[in-house]
Amino acid sequence: MDRFIIHGGHPLRGDIVIGGAKNSALKLLVAGLLTPEKLVLDNVPRIADIRTMRRLLEQHGLTVEDISGDGGTLSIGGEITNTEAPYNIVSKMRASILVLGPLLARCGEARVSLPGGCAIGTRPVDLHLKALETLGAKITLENGYIHAEAPNGLKGERVILPFASVGATENLLMAATLARGRTEIVNAAREPEIGDLVGCLNAMGARITGIGTGKLVIDGVEGLHGARYRVMPDRIECGTYACAAAITGGELRLVGGQVEHLGAVVRALEEAGVEMVQEEGAVRVQRTGALRGVDIMTEPYPGFPTDMQAQFMALLSVAEGASMVTETIFENRFMHVPELNRMGARINVHGSSAIIRGVHSLSGAPVMATDLRASFSLIIAGLAAHGETILSRVYHLDRGYEAVERKLAQCGAHIERVSD
């Protein structure tokens, strides 16, 4: 099992290339189930979750080829020969549930294991199932599997989501592209990754309008064709490295990053004393003075993303004054707090809120990653801490971030990966 050894106190300076968005690329790969023709995706991140999704698609019968030689461009195509998504793959990654809609729409049936992923909350799939039932699917749960049938195909309807679920929006969106008639998704999620999925589906021949709004309208078509599409840059990776630049007092150019995708993250960073400037092809990040405490609440886009909460908390742990972070999306997403406190942070959790009283400095310590984003929060803390930080269980990190130690080291961080 790999670990990171970090010696803090070194400002980050230089360029870091922001890769393709994990939360977009996974869904675009799944979209390959909707057509027998080839879908070619550029700017695919080279991370563990992508490899897991490739295995899942291949066991459905598709061929996934690396046509770039380095994993950055993938071609997906072929006929579906198996409509079951097994537990041994789905349990590794929650995004696997998204094969349900495309398999159902294309083949009229699907058997998908209930999903896994990071242990940050229950994240029920009932919204996915109720939405697909509205389109005419018959769904039963047995032995840990979702069994869905639509032998006569799906039929477009108006679906009102009780809250703006990203996963339910995506599953319904893909299924509706091949449904008969018009589907309306009301209270749809508005994340930029939703817009990226719509862009790819439309390039494949879908008829979808309403990008960036809470109402998506899908006019079903008989079939989709192949296309070539480029995955958007990862806004969470961009925000994560922005926090790393700020906590170390350095200056980074985040190449490929887009300020417009970051929403409330930019406003929170500016309030904390961090400047983010969009330049041609990059975002420049630097501190404007001492870090200041701020209050944030995680919300659906364009609110503050739950996927940035842990990283921002690490930054606030050394900010002047007190801060409060309220988590409204996942109930178990404060598991990094005890680890940050081991490094000298002063954080107290009260229900869904954490009170952070900024300290002058952190101290290196052995810490353990508990989930994907928490992993990087501990790296951020380690970059600013005095002494040595040893981060264990970095396999969580490898699920969603590419070449972390290389990107940080080339900008002055003292970080190395070691294997037991």
CB atoms inside a 10 Å sphere around CB 328: 16
What residue ranges do the domains of the chain occupy?
2-19+233-419, 22-230
Rounded distance, CA 386 to CA 359, Å? 13
Rounded distance, CA 274 to CA 378, Å? 20
Q: Is 123 annotated as a binding residue?
A: yes
Q: Is 124 annotated as a binding residue?
A: yes
pLDDT digits (tens, 9 = 90+) for 184-193: 999 999 999 9
Question: For position 94, what pLDDT does the model report?
Answer: 82
pLDDT digits (tens, 9 = 90+) for 136-147: 999 999 888 999
E strand or H helix that includes residue 138: strand 138-142
The whole-number average pLDDT for the span 119-126 is 56
pLDDT digits (tens, 9 = 90+) for 313-359: 999 999 999 999 999 987 778 999 999 999 999 999 999 999 999 99
Which residue type occupies 285?
Answer: V
Q: Is 23 annotated as a binding residue?
A: yes
Q: Is 43 annotated as a binding residue?
A: no
Rounded distance, CA 311 to CA 97, Å? 27
Question: For position 93, what pLDDT does the model report?
Answer: 86
pLDDT digits (tens, 9 = 90+) for 190-224: 999 999 999 999 999 999 999 999 999 999 999 99
* Residue with the two structure tokens 């537990």: 87
What global pTM score does this model have? 0.95
Residue 117 pLDDT greater than 50, yes or no: no
CA-nearest of 396, 410, 408, 402 to 116 is: 396
Question: For position 120, what pLDDT does the model report?
Answer: 33
Rounded distance, CA 314 to CA 95, Å? 27
The fold of 2-19+233-419 is UDP-n-acetylglucosamine1-carboxyvinyl-transferase; Chain (3.65.10)
CA-nearest of 341, 309, 339, 303 to 326 is: 309
Q: Is 329 annotated as a binding residue?
A: yes
Query: pLDDT grade, residue 124 (50/70/90)?
Result: low
The whole-number average pLDDT for the span 304-321 is 97
Q: Is 125 annotated as a binding residue?
A: yes
β-pair partners for 274: 287
Q: Is 182 annotated as a binding residue?
A: no
* Residue with the two structure tokens 């994340």: 191
Q: How many residues does the chain have?
A: 420
Helix (H, G, I), strand (E, B) or coil at 34: helix
Q: Which of 87-91, 287-291, 354-358 has the lowest mean pLDDT?
A: 87-91
Catalytic positions are: 118
2-19+233-419 against 22-230: fold identical = yes
Rounded distance, CA 122 to CA 119, Å? 8
β-pair partners for 185: 159, 216
The CATH number assigned to the domain with range 22-230 reads: 3.65.10.10
Rounded distance, CA 333 to CA 308, Å? 11
The CA dihedral of 150, 50, 128, 146, to the nearest 10 degrees, is 60
What's the mean per-residue pLDDT of the chain? 95
